[in-house]
Amino acid sequence: MQRLTSKLKGNKLAQIILLVLYVLVTSLSLYLAQASVTAFLLLLVSLLLLYYTELPDRLKWVIAGVVLVGVIPFVASTGPSYQSYMEVATVVGIYVAMALGLNIVVGLAGLLDLGFVAFFAIGAYTYGIFATAQAANFMPFGVFPLSGDSFWIFILIGCFVAALFGVLLGIPVLRVKGDYLAIVTLGFGEIIRIVFNNLDKPVNITNGAMGLASVKPPEIFGFQFVYPNQFYFIVLAILLFVILAVRRFEFSKIGRSWKAVRENEIAAQSMGIHLVRTKLLAFAIGASFSGMMGVVFAAKQTFVDPTSFTLLESITILVMVILGGMGSVPGVILGAAVITILNLQVLTEVTNYLNQLSLNGVISFPEALSPAKMQRFIFGAILIIFAIYRPQGLIPAKNPVFDEESLKEGSENHRKKQIKVESDKGFQA
């Protein structure tokens, strides 16, 4: 095994061939054995393998695009479980975007936010209220529900409204820090949920615990997005934008200030970093990703109610970040995918399997222990184990390494060039 990996290392052609082979085998098995969840999951694993290959980044993006846009929808499309696969893939995408948002707040800026799902709720309700007849209850002007065309604008509006609330919540951050912040955000998350739950009187804005039903599906040029396989592409597009944005932010000036604030607030402040602005920006950007996905979520479910936005959801997103690795973009994507698939597919599959066994009388299996109900137990265990044994997560965050020599050389060259330019000037004079 060791010899094999050492042979593979450095051999790009072999890596490509193996990867393509892997994708081919898994897609073929999914194509032939349609009901097999395993094949679908193995196909998704190819993206992880892709991450570990040593191909140039650009090629990796292209391959990932081909797999996500072409291979997965095509291979899954022929069978009866097509929509359920696409549903899983869509939900994974939504959670990845949210986890990336939380990653900015927790992983990069080091502010523990336990009410993150509130922003998701805000995004969902922003679209939900205006895309149902609900808005007519408190807005005397305008015709509601708005048509599905407005969905595209609402992605932006949801983004901005969530960012606005991020800033509003961020204002207490100015005074509160560390563990108090966790409690304040937890309180905020609960407040938002309770408010949405009770805002059916005196003016009926959110329709209370009944929720908003039959949210208009998105529409473009008369084409309606109704099925998960159609939403999959919307989510993919937003996700692409989110990942690019996160990568850009991470290595920009603001990204470095977030990391500085995370490591030591006082030191960062003394280096001239504006604490308030940096933290507020982290909250706003993290929240905006969540808000966008909230809009998509509302359109996809066509139903919004407060039970989708409980504390458990916030913790789930936190678990994704911790599992994957705080501050690490590929890690968080992996963490979000693992947890979502665990939640949606693995736990229910295992439960069904165990129920089947106990139905056949092979083992007697108490209902109380069914894995589908064990989410809290599993999440709690993941949090403790990772906190103690692997706080850096599955894929630890990497900082770009700069070669000191080449930098020096670079600046030397730069200076030489400048000197040259100057001497040129001198010569001309």
Partner 1 sequence: MLADILNTLPQVLVDGLALGAIYAVIALGYTMVYGILELINFAHGEIFMTGAFIGVAMLILMTGMGWLAAMPAILALILVLVVTSILTGFMGVGIERMAYRPLRNSPKLITLISAIGVSFLLQDLVRFITEYKRGNYILTGPSMFNSQFTIKFSSVSSSFSDAFFKTSTLILIICVVVMMVALDFFVNKTKWGMAMRAVAQDRDTASLMSINVNKVISLTFFIGSALGGATGVLFAVQYGTIDPYIGFILGLKAFTAAVLGGIGNIRGAMAGGIMLGLLEMFAAANLQLLTNGVLGAEYKDVFAFAILIIVLIFKPEGLFGKAVTEKV
Residues found near partner 1 in the complex (CB under 8 A): 106, 110, 112, 114, 172, 175-176, 178-180, 182-184, 186-188, 190-191, 194-195, 197-198, 201-202, 266, 311, 315, 318, 322, 366-369, 373-377, 379-388, 391
151 contacts 131 by C-beta, under 8 angstroms? yes
Q: How far apart are CA 230 and CA 73, in angstroms?
A: 10
Residue 53: φ, ψ to 5°: -70, 165
> Least separation, in Å, of the C-beta of 369 and partner 1?
6
Among residues 1 and 363, whose Cβ is nearest to partner 1?
Answer: 363
222: DSSP letter: T
SS3 category, 304: strand
76/382 with CB nearer partner 1: 382
Minimum distance of partner 1 from residue 177's CB (angstroms): 9
The CB density around residue 228, as the number of other CB atoms within 10 Å, is 19
Cα 94 to Cα 238: distance, rounded to the nearest angstrom:
9
Which residue matches tokens 């990703």?
Answer: 289
- Per the CB < 8 A criterion, the answer to whether 363 and 357 are in contact is yes
- Nearest distance from residue 26's CB to partner 1, in Å? 34
Q: How far is the CB of 323 from partner 1 (least distance, A)?
A: 11
Q: How far is the CB of 154 from partner 1 (least distance, A)?
A: 27
Which CB, 263 or 424, lies closer to partner 1?
263
SS3 category, 393: coil
Q: Which is nearer to partner 1, 74 or 180 (CB)?
A: 180
C-alpha to C-alpha distance for 293 and 298, rounded to whole angstroms: 9
Supply the minimum distance, in Å, between the C-beta of residue 398 and partner 1.
19
Length of the chain: 429
Type of residue numbered 116: F
In a 3-state reduction of DSSP, which class is residue 153? helix
What's the distance, CA 99 to chain centroid?
Answer: 4
Burial of 133 (0-12, 13-18, 19+ CB in 10 A): middle
Rounded least distance, CB 300 to partner 1, Å: 27
Amino acid at the residue 305: D
**Cβ contacts of 248 within 8 Å, gap of 6 or more:** none
Q: Nearer to partner 1 by C-beta: 43 or 395?
A: 395
Of 198 and 413, CB closest to partner 1: 198
Shortest separation between residue 138's beta carbon and partner 1, angstroms: 14
Burial of 96 (0-12, 13-18, 19+ CB in 10 A): buried
Kindly tell me which of 191 and 220 has the beta carbon lying closer to partner 1: 191
What whole-number distance in Å separates Cα of residue 69 and Cα of residue 30?
16
CB nearer to partner 1: give 277 or 373: 373
136/378 with CB nearer partner 1: 378
Maximum Cα–Cα distance for the chain, whole Å? 99
3-state secondary structure of 25: helix
CB 112, min distance to partner 1, A: 6
DSSP H or E segment with residue 409: helix 404-428
CB of 171 to partner 1, least distance (A): 8
